[in-house]
Amino acid sequence: MNRRRQIYEGKAKILYEGPEPGTLIQYFKDDATAFNAQKKGTINGKGVINNRISEFVFTRLSHIGIPTHFIRRLNMREQLVRQVDIIPLEVVVRNVAAGSISKRLGIEEGEPLPHTLLEYYYKDDALGDPLIAEEHIACFGWASNEEMQDMSSMAIRINDFLCGMFAAVGIRLVDFKLEFGRLWDGDYSRVILADEISPDGCRLWDMATGEKLDKDRFRRDLGGEEDAYTEVARRLGVLQDDG
């Protein structure tokens, strides 16, 4: 039985108290939700694959100087991470129109955007994570100007790196969501990348066929979710060793 203290349970992950102060264990579930949890299901083996993909991506990002909460993967479904105060924003990076921006602004899915777009959503399940402007963030004090600078510059660097990383394995990075947290050191904090980067929070299209290799397969009842996630992991080369 698992006797560790549970800190938080989200839609796709659980956070447990970590072995040392300032650490948490991030457990990846197979549960999948969409449309603010109105649609629920499971994708068999998703937690195992996302744990691996997120480990791979966060490790690569740390190599290019992005500070992240990731410390190390512990086992098939768990990783050790630094404890942060999550900033209540979802930072969405878009290269190509798809999903909510297509619906909201009537832009055809697949239309490349004139330039990379950053959007901010207020993280609040009860409100359905509404799209907000930077003015709202400043007005309500959800993040400081300096934190906004840090998050936006990291988001652009992450996008540049990930576009290349996925393109190298024949995948187009259409859009993705990031979450950041405050890492405290006494009275001071700095912003680091938190949460996960996986096909749950990215749109990944096969460059040759346009096939969707991400959670839209679940959201849109396309089927083949397991195969799609496994294909992303296989192309990134993260399913080779055990443990």
Name the site residues for ligand C5P (rule: CB under 6 A): 90, 92, 98-101, 129, 175-177, 201-203, 215
Task: Report the residue number, 147 or 175, with the smaller CB distance to ligand C5P.
Answer: 175
Least distance to ligand C5P from the beta carbon of 45, Å?
19
Burial class (CB in 10 A: 0-12, 13-18, 19+), 131: middle
Half-sphere exposure of 151 (CA within 13 A, CB side): 28
Least distance to ligand C5P from the beta carbon of 106, Å?
14
- Provide DSSP, 47-87: HHHHHHHHHHHHHHHHHTT--BSEEEE-SSSEEEEE--EE-
Task: Report the residue number, 143 or 202, with the smaller CB distance to ligand C5P.
Answer: 202
Least distance to ligand C5P from the beta carbon of 215, Å?
6
Token readout for 135 is 């003015």
Task: Report the residue number, 148 or 174, with the smaller CB distance to ligand C5P.
Answer: 174
Least distance to ligand C5P from the beta carbon of 4, Å?
26
Least distance to ligand C5P from the beta carbon of 219, Å?
8
Q: Which is nearest to 215 in space by CA: 18, 14, 32, 4?
A: 32
Task: Report the residue number, 32 or 202, with the smaller CB distance to ligand C5P.
Answer: 202
The residue with its CB nearest to ligand C5P is: 99
